[in-house]
Amino acid sequence: MISPQDITGLILAGGRGSRMGGVDKGLQNFNGMPLALHTLMRLQLQVGTVMINANRNLSAYESFGAEVWPDVLADYAGPLAGFLTGLERCETSYMVTVPCDTPRFPLDLVARLAAALEREGAEIAMAAGPEADAQGQTQVRTQPVFCLLKVELLESLTRFTQGGGRKIDAWTAQHKTVIVPFDQAGDDPLAFANANTLAELKQLEDS
């Protein structure tokens, strides 16, 4: 079994927050606490150590008590820039990524990803959760920013990003990936609901 102590958690808080009016999303309050701190406390229960990937207000993030690292790629290159930054700094055999704007992600996220990774002999385990489409139909969709990765994938990701690659799916497709659905009885249907706007954040608080 993969031990939680062998896994480093990485909180992705490096985005522009453009759909939230350019505010620093991870520092917006959720139930009276900054989103990223809420995420940190939820993730700390599941892994050995946690890092934060952020590109501004670094001292505010550092005040949460975790190491904070800005993107190693320039110009807000997206989540893969955070993956790359984390893998470069990771000192354990595995790293799990979680965005800062999905405050209800499962408390057994890491355990279920790790079990699937080991069972399938995979290099990446990716969560999938229920999501409503434009027609209001619920489908189980992959959640590529919720990934458990072997740290040895650093070389592959470095090559991919140096070649201009920015899409998570295009990179993970190069490796043996197991999809882990979180749609069982007892799973929170809003576990992967993320807040892109302040209104959505309020809605999540009230739900």
Q: Is the pLDDT of residue 116 over 70?
A: yes
Mean pLDDT of the chain: 93
139-161 pLDDT, tens digit per residue, is: 999 999 999 999 999 999 999 99
- 71-95 b/e (C-beta count within 10 Å ≥ 16 → b): bbbeeebbbbbbbbbbbeebebebb
Task: Show the domains of the chain with their CATH numbers.
Answer: 4-206 (3.90.550.10)
What pLDDT does 15 receive?
79
Average pLDDT over residues 114-124: 98
Confidence of residue 195 (pLDDT cuts 50, 70, 90): confident
Measure the CA dihedral 198/202/204/207, to 10°.
-160
Residue 127: beta bridge partners? 143, 180
Q: Report pLDDT digits (tens) over 14-32.
A: 876 666 667 889 999 999 9
The pair of three-digit structure tokens given for residue 21, joined into one six-digit string: 């009016």
pLDDT at 76: 63
Query: What is the structure's pLDDT at 175?
Result: 98
Using the predicted structure, report yes or no on whether residue 185 has a pLDDT greater than 70.
yes
pTM here is 0.94
Is the model's pLDDT at 169 over the cut of 90?
yes
Name the pLDDT band for 37 (thresholds 50, 70, 90): very high
CA–CA dist 40, 19 (Å, integer): 23
- Asked if residue 129 lies in contact with residue 181, where contact means CB atoms within 8 angstroms, the answer is yes
Does the structure show a pLDDT above 80 at 87?
yes
Q: What is the pLDDT of residue 191?
A: 95
- Please give the pLDDT value at position 40: 97
Burial class (CB in 10 A: 0-12, 13-18, 19+), 9: buried
d(CA 65, CA 29): 18
Distance set, CA 5 to CA 32, 41, 52, 191, 205 (Å): 30, 16, 17, 24, 31
Half-sphere exposure of 172 (CA within 13 A, CB side): 24
What average pLDDT does the segment 115-139 reach?
A: 92
Mean pLDDT of the region 73-102: 92
